[in-house]
């Protein structure tokens, strides 16, 4: 059977042997009663890493963002967000369904917001307009091409938001990638933000899970909302053990994924395919006039990619993809185009 090279997203097909052993050995309890020791250990570690009072382990990054939005929005409240951010595109309208929140979208430069552009959409409270309650940032920005938010920009945006009475949430599903690429500790990215979400099942390679970190009061409320959404999983320590293993072994190696993405981008350009993003982390977007058709032909040849626009394909490198896999994918592309 031909090996499948999966470049659709930065998730692994199955945990490695050492991670599986950690999961099998995990001490577990009942998370509904807040008694799973491995989950508690993971939550405490994430809180420390991000410099927050508390953290909450949740099944998905989407749930983490929906919980963060619920903390900030009552029905009819408005959140300021980049126009192609994950909650706008990929969360099935969860912010509206669960919180009744509205989005005030602002177009960024490859997903990175300009301070002046955000300032233009902020206004003093007035009875006939929505109440603006929060600013949402995404780091790295998915549809921006895995672009890293400059730390000084995060600080400036947070300062602007607070001057208008807004809270700040960072969707840090790929914050580990941003930290490694920019050589900035995750705690420094988190410091200007009230809440931060991080993901273990993307570049870190754990099979399941994300976390939301913030003040103790916020996390206590988020725990209540998690239960409302059906996220009070029972013996979740089996999965939390994988996240702890990933934190120990898979953070620094993200630099390899970034190097492989750069290698892929160079190869695509040598094939005459236009790379449309600035490759800073583990994502490569390239243009082809028949993206869906090419993605189907690639999958038939054992290379999985994502056609994200009629003329654009996304590839993502991760710990299941090495330099030889990148070379093999480029060889297949060369034949097909």
Flag whether 202 is in a domain. Answer: yes
Q: Do residue 208 and residue 317 come from a single domain?
A: no
**pLDDT score of 316 more than 90:** yes
pTM exceeds cut of 0.85? yes
Q: Do residue 119 and residue 166 come from a single domain?
A: yes
The CATH code of the domain that includes 290 is 3.90.1150.10
Chain segment 197-253, per-residue pLDDT in tens: 999 999 999 999 999 999 999 999 999 999 999 999 999 999 999 999 999 999 999
Q: What end-to-end distance do the CA atoms of the chain give, in Å?
A: 24
pLDDT at 2: 65
pLDDT at 13: 80
Flag whether 208 is in a domain. Answer: yes
Chain segment 111-168, per-residue pLDDT in tens: 999 999 999 999 999 999 999 999 999 999 999 999 999 999 999 999 999 999 999 9
Q: Do residue 163 and residue 274 come from a single domain?
A: no
**pLDDT score of 19 more than 70:** yes
Q: What DSSP line would sit under 92-157, residue for residue?
A: TTHHHHHH--EEEEE--BTTBPPHHHHHHH-----TTSPPEEEEEEESSBTTTTSBPPPHHHHHHH
Flag whether 7 is in a domain. Answer: no
- Which residues span the domain enclosing 136? 17-249
Angle, CA of 40, 204 and 233, to the nearest 5°: 35
Q: Do residue 238 and residue 269 come from a single domain?
A: no
Q: Do residue 120 and residue 263 come from a single domain?
A: no
Q: Do residue 27 and residue 150 come from a single domain?
A: yes
Q: Rounded mean pLDDT of the chain?
A: 96
CA distance 32 to 152: 39
Chain segment 67-126, per-residue pLDDT in tens: 999 999 999 999 999 999 999 999 999 999 999 999 999 999 999 999 999 999 999 999
Q: Do residue 87 and residue 141 come from a single domain?
A: yes
Q: Do residue 131 and residue 226 come from a single domain?
A: yes
CB atoms within 10 A of CB 51: 16
pLDDT at 278: 95
Flag whether 10 is in a domain. Answer: no
CB atoms within 10 A of CB 35: 12
- Tell which residue, 27, 8, 69, 94, has the closest CA to residue 241: 27
Q: Do residue 37 and residue 145 come from a single domain?
A: yes
- Tell which residue, 42, 9, 11, has the closest CA to residue 239: 42
Q: How many structural domains are present in the chain? A: 2
Flag whether 79 is in a domain. Answer: yes
Flag whether 11 is in a domain. Answer: no
Domain's final residue, options 249, 269, 291: 249
The CATH code of the domain that includes 237 is 3.40.640.10
Q: Do residue 277 and residue 233 come from a single domain?
A: no
- Cα 320 from chain centroid? 18
Question: φ and ψ at 103, to 5 degrees?
Answer: -110, 130
Flag whether 9 is in a domain. Answer: no
- Show the tokens assigned to 188: 């420094």
Q: Do residue 145 and residue 290 come from a single domain?
A: no
């Amino acid at each position: 059977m031909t090996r499948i090279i999966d470049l659709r997203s930065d998730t692994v097909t199955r945990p490695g042997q050492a991670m599986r052993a950690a999961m099998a050995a995990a001490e577990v309890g009942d998370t509904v009663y807040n008694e799973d020791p491995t989950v508690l250990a993971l939550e405490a570690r994430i809180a420390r890493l991000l410099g927050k009072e508390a953290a909450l382990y949740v099944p998905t990054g989407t749930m983490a963002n929906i919980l963060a939005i619920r903390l900030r929005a009552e029905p009819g409240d408005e959140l300021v967000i980049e126009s192609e951010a994950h909650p706008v595109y990929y969360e099935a309208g969860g912010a509206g369904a669960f919180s009744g929140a509205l989005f005030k979208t602002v177009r960024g430069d490859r997903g990175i917001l300009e301070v002046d552009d955000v300032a233009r959409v902020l206004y003093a409270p007035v009875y006939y307009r929505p109440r603006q309650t929060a600013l949402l940032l995404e780091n790295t920005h998915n549809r921006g091409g895995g672009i890293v938010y400059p730390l000084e920009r995060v600080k400036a945006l947070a300062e602007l938001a607070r001057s208008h009475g807004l809270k700040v949430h960072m969707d840090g599903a790929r914050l580990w990638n941003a930290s490694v690429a920019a050589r900035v500790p995750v705690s420094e990215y988190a410091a200007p933000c009230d809440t931060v979400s991080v993901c273990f099942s993307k570049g870190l390679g754990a099979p399941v899970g994300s976390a939301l970190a913030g003040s103790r009061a916020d996390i206590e409320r988020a725990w209540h909302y998690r239960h409302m959404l059906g996220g009070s999983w029972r013996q979740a320590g089996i999965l939390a053990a994988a996240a702890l293993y990933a934190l120990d072994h898979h953070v620094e190696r993200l630099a390899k994924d970034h190097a492989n993405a750069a290698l892929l981008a160079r190869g695509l350009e040598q094939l005459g395919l236009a790379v449309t993003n600035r490759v800073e982390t583990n994502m490569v977007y390239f243009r082809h006039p028949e993206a869906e058709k090419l993605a189907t032909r690639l999958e038939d040849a054992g290379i999985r990619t994502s056609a994200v626009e009629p003329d654009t394909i996304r590839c993502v490198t991760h710990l299941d993809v090495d330099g030889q896999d990148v070379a093999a994918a480029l060889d297949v592309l060369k034949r097909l185009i």
